[in-house]
Amino acid sequence: MDFSSLLNRYITELDCSAKDLAEASGISAAAISRYRAGERTPDPDSKQLRMLASGIAALSAGSLSEQAVHEEFAASISGISIDYDTFLSNLSALLETLSVNNNEVARALSFDPSYISRILTGQRRPADLQAFVTGVSRFAVQRSEAGDLNGALQALIGASLHNAPDEDARAQAVATWLGTNYAPIHDPISSFLKKLDEFNLDDFIRAIHFDEMKVPTTPIQLPTTKTYTGIREMMECEIDFLKAAVLSKSSASVIMYSDMPMEEMAADPEFPRKWMYGMAMMLKKGLHLHMIHDTNRPLPEMMLGLEGWIPMYMTGQISPYYFTGADNSVFNHLLKVAGTVAMQGEAIHEHQGEGRYILTKNRDEVRYYRKRAERMLEQARPLMRIITAANADKLQSFLEESMELECRRRVIMSTPPIGSIPAGLLERMLERNNVAETDRTAIRAFAAQRAEELEELLDGNEIRLEFPNLTREEFDAYPPTLDLSGLFFEDSVSYSYSEYIEHLTALQSFIAPHEQCALIIDNNQAFRNVQITICEGHHVLVSKNKGPVIHFVIEHPAMVSAFERFTAPVRD
Q: How do residues 437-469 score in pLDDT, each as one tens digit?
A: 999 999 999 999 999 998 888 887 889 898 888
For each of the domains in the chain, give its residue range(s) and CATH number, in order of start.
Answer: 3-78 (1.10.260.40), 84-180 (1.10.260), 190-381 (3.30.870.10), 389-565 (3.30.870)
SS3 of residue 162 by DSSP: coil
> Diameter of the chain by CA atoms?
94
pLDDT tens figures, 246-259: 988 899 999 999 98
CB 409 within 8 A of CB 534: yes
pLDDT of residue 569: 63
CB 373 within 8 A of CB 335: yes
> 51 vs 27, 42, 129, 295, CA distance in Å?
7, 11, 21, 50
Beta strand pairing call for 342-348 and 254-258: unpaired
pLDDT of residue 438: 95
Which residues neighbour 207 within 8 Å (Cβ) at sequence distance 6 or greater?
Answer: none
| CA neighbor of 548 nearest in space, from 207, 276, 203, 188 | 203
185 torsion bin: left (phi>0), alpha (psi -120 to 50), beta (else): beta
Calculate the dihedral angle through the C-alpha atoms of 64, 66, 67, 71, rounding to the nearest 10 degrees. 80
pLDDT of residue 217: 64
What number of CA atoms fall less than 13 Å from residue 293's CA on the CB side?
Answer: 23
Calculate the dihedral angle through the C-alpha atoms of 84, 85, 91, 96, rounding to the nearest 10 degrees. 170
Residues of the chain with pLDDT under 50: none
Residue type, 239: I
CB 420 within 8 A of CB 472: no
End-to-end distance of the chain based on CA atoms, in angstroms?
38
pLDDT of residue 144: 85
pLDDT of residue 202: 81
Instruction: Tell me 415's DSSP state.
Output: S
pLDDT of residue 327: 62
Question: Global pTM?
Answer: 0.76
